[in-house]
Amino acid sequence: MGIAKWRFVAGVKALPFKARYTVKMRISGLVRLVVGVALVPMMLVEQSAAWGNDGHKMINRLAAAALPSDVPEFLRSRAAQDAMEYYGPEPDRWKGQLEPELSAAGSSEHFIDLEWADMIGGPLPRKRYDFIRALAVAQKEHPDMRLTPESVGLQPWAATEYYERVKSAMRDYRGLAADHKDTKPVEAEIVFLCGIMGHFVGDASQPLHATIQFNGWTGPNPNEYTTDHRIHAQFESQFVSATVNPAKDVAPLIAKEPKVLGDVFEEYVKYLRHSNSLVEKTYQLEKAGGFQDGGTPESRAFVDERLAAGATELRDIIYTAWVRSADPVPAYRNGMKAASPPPGE
């Protein structure tokens, strides 16, 4: 999202992330086969950001507007919706050329190549550093691939870590409100955190942010999908800006009843995997001319549904954080509350 990033495709070190050395194919759903991609020295690919400014703003505002009445009014207000909309593209603004360290540290949080991530074997770990260690093991087993966090992506951990930040801030809000203390600073913090979280949750509803096929088909291509490096921006930015009316097209598709999520990490990974399951459909729509000009009825319905899926997921994660923020805080073994751990713990 936001400012485009350049990446080398294959046989070349990534600048700054995500080199494409091989394509992993599943066979019969059981056997993974790594198919070598022909080297393309110094070939550059432009990676756009998911949804662009307009799509991110839509998702954040619609999610805030869909919050139920038992969420505090400050988070449902017009001012909060305006702020949420503004914060939607914020993490893309952190990828500017004048902030190179920030960009390098955060770029991998906008995507995950699930085909590569699954090469660690078993379910994705709940903690990002466990995943990073698992990737290091997989890298040794596949030295011809680039299985680094920068290349594979850290998307679900960015989103769910923000969920926990939101939940923590909401717990503080409850405590201050119960003590009849000023809640304005924590209210501002909660709106900010929800807005930033919304960016990452929105990223995950865009199918091309959950796959190795992020911007032009790579590897075996029997269906002759586009290999041009334009589909990403064409779908998520140009087509959205040209065709989507959020109030008319997207808002009616948002699930009416908010949902308290069970295991937030596991449900978020399911949400990501559903997006990944729509990758080929995205390419099929592009092949049929669905993202050109005004598109087709099918392509317009597809992009509306994906934006609504992002807004629904964000609304439900915010609502879950609010409900869970009332959970009692376990005590440490020495009797101190978890919110105030002893030094060194």
Digit-coded pLDDT (tens) for 258-303: 999 999 999 999 999 999 999 999 999 999 999 999 999 999 999 9
Return d(Cα 55, Cα 307) in angstroms, integer.
Answer: 7
The residue with greater pLDDT, 274 or 29, is: 274
pLDDT at 38: 34
pLDDT at 225: 98
b/e string for 70-106 if b means 16 or more Cβ within 10 A?
ebbebbbeeebbebbbebbbbbbebbeeeeeeebeeb
Mean pLDDT of 25-37: 34
Q: Is the pLDDT of residue 130 over 70?
A: yes
Which domains does the chain show, CATH number per domain?
51-218+226-324 (1.10.575)
Torsion of CA 251, 257, 260, 261, to 10 degrees: -60
pLDDT at 44: 32
Whole-number average pLDDT of the chain: 86
Out of 17-31, 41-55, 158-172, give the one with best mean pLDDT: 158-172
Digit-coded pLDDT (tens) for 93-114: 999 999 999 999 999 999 999 9
Decide: pTM greater than 0.75: yes
